[in-house]
Amino acid sequence: MSAELKVLSVLLVVWVGLFFYLLHLDREIRKIKDRQP
């Protein structure tokens, strides 16, 4: 694999991971807000 493809795949993995982590946090917050009156 060329260097460029390696860099690209690393960055893609990082981004996808980050994004889904942020979505997860979003969900957690909604759950906490739901529990509060």
Residues in contact with another protein by the rule CB under 8 A = 4-5, 7-8, 11-12, 15-16, 19, 22-23, 25-26, 29-34, 36
Q: What minimum distance in Å lies between the beta carbon of 22 and another protein? A: 6
Q: What minimum distance in Å lies between the beta carbon of 4 and another protein? A: 5
Q: What minimum distance in Å lies between the beta carbon of 15 and another protein? A: 6
CA-based end-to-end distance of the chain: 54
State how far the alpha carbon of 11 is from the alpha carbons of 6, 16, 18, in Å.
9, 9, 10
Q: Tell me the C-alpha distance between 34 and 28, whole Å.
A: 10
